[in-house]
Structure 1
Amino acid sequence: MTSSGAQQVPEPDPGSGDPTEFWSWWAEEGAGACEAAIESRSFEAVTDEINARVHAVDPRLVWELGPGREARHVLVVTSEGDAGARAVARRWLRAAPAPSATWEYADARQAEVDVDAMVLKVGETEVDFAAVRVVAERVGNHVDVVVHHPAMASLPEQARNTVAFLALDATLGENDCETWVGAVEVALAPPVGATLLAALREVVAEVRDDSVDEHGTPVWVLLRGEVDGAPIMAAAQVPLAGSWAPQLDTHVAVAVPYRRATEQGLPDPGTLESLRALEDHLGERLGDSARLVAHETSSGTRTLHFYADSTTPAAAVLQAAVTGWDQGRVTVAAQPDPAWHAVRHLRT
């Protein structure tokens, strides 16, 4: 049984973003009340209270109760695809109590164990996920998907798209869907080579396994190109997506000039070694508060793309840590960017 608090709140007041009061309420009465509601299959007594508690953290968040993977129940509080609220949901999760035999917690919807058993009602139309068919094509480090169901042709366009994305979320889980799925297309006729919905998991798992190491750390890819006739070198982590690390919601661009360069404007070997040493130095100073996710080098400047947790002084730490660079003045510019738009041109 699932209960959702996804209804819109008219002209919501901004939430505090602080989950402390939520978790205090949860420990004192919320967990027990929700467990009783699940057992009685009656959610009227808790729905308004949970809505108020979740929206006090952030009005963009929604919640669900459902069966857990390890515990009996799971409480999910998610931004529901709103990039601006992902960091708040992740901080809510980080403040959660340790999982127990009764409760576990998540900041994104989980994949359904038996996705083919799900039936979605859209108006008067029932969409059974067992009849959904997909074509999945790997493109670089993501998967483009075509989705078909016989009922698609009778639904308006917005409803078709909603069905497609709900089917993908249910199959992969919200985080994997946002991280690894690229273009999504709805097909009104059965596409050639279509497979069952659950088969998509294998394709995404293959891409994920190729993109992270045994510790779950993203691998890096090298990129080359030209800008206004000048060669440019770049490197970026895979995946380069805000859903991979939602708490890192602020883009910090560190522009490092260098004077010792090749004829093409790229760093000479000695400068390249110095740039790598600077990157290591900045990473050590930052700890877990920020991460270097990409860099671009051309025409005498290397731009380091960091993403930082806006609740930490990471940007100030970077500003202080670059003062020793001896090949020109380093500039540091920070701006909110929870969707990681500043590096989308480097995604593969």
Structure 2
Amino acid sequence: MRLFGRKDDEEEAGEPGDGIAGFWVWWQESRPRVDALVAAGEAEKLSELIAPAVNAVHPGLVWEVAPGRNAAHALVVTAAGDAELRSRAHRWARAAPPADLLWEFHPSRQANPQAIDLTLDVGGFEFALDKLMLGLRVPRSTPRVDIAAYHPIFGELDDDTRMDAALLALDWLLGEDDVARWVGEITPATFQPIDAVAAAHLPAVVADVASGYAEEQWALLEGQTASGAPLVATARYPLRPVDYPLFDQHIAITLPYAHRDEFGLPVGDSVAALRDFEERLGARLLKLRDDAVLATHLSAEGHRVIHIYADPTGDAAIHAKELIVSWEEGEPRVDVASDPSWSAVVAFVN
């Protein structure tokens, strides 16, 4: 049995409370009925049972009952690409009971080793993955694969249904998180692309691209502020929020520096002071590596801004506030806010 929940309309979603703990209380109480409905293949009744419980966690989450990787069944509750909800889905999964022979729990769709053998009904047509063909392109110096997806039934489907089918197929082939990490532009095509390959080859292509980024890398970037002043930034590369799903707290450390050139960039003693501060910050973050990550820092107009993302249940914000006490070149500041979509560093996400 494969069963999907749907996102509610925006006007019905409202502002949810944190229903995670309540969900797992409900699960324990409802487990016998859930098991019975799954065994009987009662998809509609199962949906009527599970949907309200997932809706209480957040109305925007999508749920799915699918074959498990180790257990017989998997309950997947996913943000379905909505960055604002990714941390909620992962906290739901982290609070789950241990997997058993019947059930396991995931905050995103998992790759299916038998994906190429799957067939489902899409708009009244058979969508068999062994007939899916992909045009693959890896833009120069870009850690992503652009995909043009073609299936013989796509010419019979509307644009939205074609895209939904293509996204679902990619989730099955790679897993939802690796789609977010490594797939760039997705184009459902009604004609087979030149040099298209069978969908079964996609995991190997993605693995080859990913192998070039196995070690930590940083990119040095130059640009301009909104006022036109020069800006220099150093950013983790690739920078992907999907790699840190629980880090939805944004910590911005702002350090004014006294020694700057005519363009407002640090020089001399300020460069040394900034380097010393960041070494001490790095040492603390190393101890907090399960709770926080340095995303990027940038210098412009006499200020360095350091962007950190952290698990709000950890102590990263406290450490940041302790560290700035030693800064002597002006009045430093630490700003802490919830930012599950990493909007503060969206220009550096790749």
TM bin (shorter chain):
0.7 to 0.9
Q: Secondary structure of the equivalent of 2:138?
A: strand
CA contact (8 A) 2:123 2:157 kept: no
Q: Does 2:255 align with 1:253?
A: no
- How many angstroms apart in 2 are the aligned matches of 1:254 and 1:184? 36
Of residues 172, 183, 186, the one that matches 1:184 is 186
Match of 2:30 in 1: 29
Match of 2:210 in 1: 208
CA contact (8 A) 2:7 2:59 kept: no
Q: Secondary structure of the equivalent of 1:48?
A: helix
Match of 2:16 in 1: 15
Q: 1:327 to 1:278 in 2, by over 3 A?
A: farther
Match of 2:98 in 1: 98
- How many angstroms apart in 2 are the aligned matches of 1:266 and 1:90? 40
CA contact (8 A) 2:181 2:240 kept: yes
| 1:282 shift after superposition | 4.9
Query: 300-309 or 83-92: which moved more?
Result: 300-309
What percent identity do the matched residue pairs reach?
32
Of residues 323, 343, 346, the one that matches 1:344 is 346
Q: 1:187 to 1:8 in 2, by over 3 A?
A: same
| 1:229 shift after superposition | 6.4
Match of 2:57 in 1: 57
| Deviation by residue 1:220-260 (Cα, 9 ceiling, x = unmatched) | 2222324246362413142x222222222233322222234
| Deviation by residue 1:136-170 (Cα, 9 ceiling, x = unmatched) | 22232122111112222332222222222222122
Match of 2:219 in 1: 222
- How many angstroms apart in 1 are the aligned matches of 2:315 and 2:5? 34
| 1:299 shift after superposition | 4.7
Q: Give the partner amino acid of 1:222.
A: A
Match of 2:73 in 1: 73
CA contact (8 A) 1:61 1:89 kept: yes
Q: Secondary structure of the equivalent of 1:150?
A: coil
Q: 1:329 to 1:111 in 2, by over 3 A?
A: same
| Deviation by residue 1:33-76 (Cα, 9 ceiling, x = unmatched) | 33322222224443322112111111112222222112222111
Match of 1:244 in 2: 243
- TM-score normalised per structure 1: 0.87
- TM-score normalised per structure 2: 0.86
Q: Secondary structure of the equivalent of 1:64?
A: strand
Query: 338-347 or 280-289: which moved more?
Result: 280-289
CA contact (8 A) 1:93 1:106 kept: yes
| 1:314 shift after superposition | 4.6
| 1:120 shift after superposition | 3.7
| 1:175 shift after superposition | 1.0
Query: 162-171 or 122-131: which moved more?
Result: 122-131
**Unpaired runs of at least 5, structure 1:** 214-218
CA contact (8 A) 2:144 2:182 kept: yes
CA contact (8 A) 1:71 1:101 kept: yes
**Unpaired runs of at least 5, structure 2:** none
| 1:189 shift after superposition | 1.7
Q: Secondary structure of the equivalent of 1:59?
A: coil
CA contact (8 A) 1:285 1:317 kept: no
**What pairs with 1:107-122 in structure 2 (closer than 5 Å)?**
107-122=107-122
